[in-house]
Every structure is written in structure tokens, then in C-alpha cells.
Amino acid sequence: MTIELRKVKPARLKTLGLDEKWLKDRIEEDPSLLGLGDLQILQREKQQPTGGRIDFLMVEPEERIRYEIEIMLGTLDESHIIRTIEYWDIERQRYQNYEHVAVIVAEEITSRFFNVIGLLNRAVPMIALQLNAFEIDKKVVLHFIKVLDIYESAYEEEEPTGPQADRAYWSQRANSKSLAVADSLIELIPKEQGEPRVTYNKYHIAVGTSGHNFCWFHPRKMAAHCHVNIRATPEDRDDLLNKLEEAGIEAKSFHKNEITLRVSTKDVAENRKRFEEIIAQAEAWSRS
């Protein structure tokens, strides 16, 4: 097969008749465009106490990282740098046990930007993405290049809530094998209290019966495993972690009353009885 060489030059979105809202809409449809992994949107245009709005607040649930993302067309300027850092600082002070990363996106990022960040002495965890847009056959190709990536580790504390979705949303968004993990674990929930209450949100699937929710699933877009959070009392947590360790499943404590783990369909098939016990224990505690 002969591969044809085609020369194209980056174009500013405005010259293509596209604006910032168009770009944000495309990112909202598919956050993976940014190249930051399988991120989930917590909120778009989140209002800040200072009066401004974060363009996007996103999260990577497995890595426990929140991203405060600011987007602009054209050349990056001082006001957007300050705004991005300000929003990052507000969020990290409000949720001090989360890992927070400031992300700034622009079509052109000059050396002056790096000089400003250098003055901060690497105090701000920040990622800078430069957007290149190409018009090919009357179609637009978006390419985000990571030109700066500085951050240090921290830890997230809690699971936020967000807009509701439905089964169709997750069927389209998630890897079918990852979603199948959630389905197989939901099937193990005791039915004495009736059918499980399954709530589809845009970034997780919450499950309960007649009491509080006790299990949360984060099906992955590309990976075959599913990230799972399960309620566990502080008294029972060590026992549950030991049971999972015996099964060769890595799990750890999360918050004061949860465990978090990655689960595959193979894990469920090979350890069905153990998962039944863990889920039954969590379900009973959710009603106490």
C-alpha cells in the first residue's frame, strides 16, 4: 500500500470559523482528547468564590487526581496563567486531601510562560498543553502537545457526586469488559431487601438497597478492569483487605469507611464466594 504524504500547517481555530465554546464542547464529548488519560468531567464552568469559573474540573478516579483546567484560544497570556493558578489554589484549599493539578491549554505557549512558571520554583503542580489544529479534507484534527508537566503526589479524600446519566451512557462510554465487572458484582448483592438500587452518574455507578449506597463502580474507557469502592467499617476493613489479599487482589483503605480495588471479570469468576461475602457485609452495614 502506498502512503501519500500530505503537508499541512497548523491553523488557529478562529481562522477556521470555530470558537472557544466549540472547543470546549468537543472536549466535553471526549476528555481523552487532552491526552491526560481516562479523565471524567466533574463539572464544566464551575463557579468560584472569586466570581470566575473553572472551564473544566476533571478527575482520574483510579489515580485520585483532580485537574483544574483553563482553556484559551490564541497566545497564552498572564491573565490566564494567574487565573489557572488561582483556581487551582482555591480548589486545593477547599479539598486539602485531594491531589490537584493545574492545567492550562492554549494554541501558542511562548518561552515567557516558562519563565513565569520558573519563578514559582516548581511550587505549583501544572501541566501546559499546546493545541495544534489542522484542516484536512474539510475536517478538523485537534492535537494537544504536553509542553510542561510538573506535579507532586498527594491523596484524594472523598467521592464527589455529579450529574446523573443512564445505562446507555455507560454502554457507549466504557469498555464492555470493564462494565461487565460492575454487572457481575451487582448480581452478587443479596436480594432480601429487594432488587439493588443502581444509580448511573456521569463519572460513577452507585449501588445500594434499602439503606445508603455501599458500592461505587468506575468502569474504564480502555482498560478491561473496573475501579471499585466498597463500604467497610473500620472494625471490618482489615479483615476484608486480608480476604482480598489471600485471593491475590490488591486493595487498600480509602477514607474512614471504604476499601478501593481494581477488579477484572476473571477476579470475580475465581473469587465469587469471597466477593459475595464482602458485598453482603457492606450491604448489611449500609442499613445499620
* 131 and 175 belong to one structural domain: no
* 161 located within any domain: no
Band of pLDDT at residue 150, cut at 50, 70 and 90: low
Domain that holds residue 213: 167-286
* 131 and 258 belong to one structural domain: no
Number of domains present in the structure of the chain: 2
Q: What is the pTM of this model?
A: 0.56
Q: Which of 102, 119, 150 is the last residue of a domain?
A: 150
* 50 and 95 belong to one structural domain: yes
CA angle 153/64/36 to nearest 5° reads 85
Q: Which of 150, 182, 210 is the last residue of a domain?
A: 150
* 95 and 136 belong to one structural domain: yes
Q: Is the dihedral of CA 272, 273, 274, 278 positive or negative?
A: positive
* 240 and 275 belong to one structural domain: yes
* 142 and 29 belong to one structural domain: yes
Average pLDDT in the chain: 84
* 106 and 139 belong to one structural domain: yes
* 209 and 275 belong to one structural domain: yes
* 123 and 206 belong to one structural domain: no
* 54 located within any domain: yes
* 105 and 63 belong to one structural domain: yes
| Averaged pLDDT for residues 256-277 | 88
| Averaged pLDDT for residues 78-93 | 88
Return the pLDDT at 217.
92
Band of pLDDT at residue 188, cut at 50, 70 and 90: very high
- Tell me, what CATH number does 89's domain have? 3.40.1350.10
* 186 and 262 belong to one structural domain: yes
Return the pLDDT at 197.
92
* 53 located within any domain: yes
* 4 located within any domain: no
* 230 and 118 belong to one structural domain: no
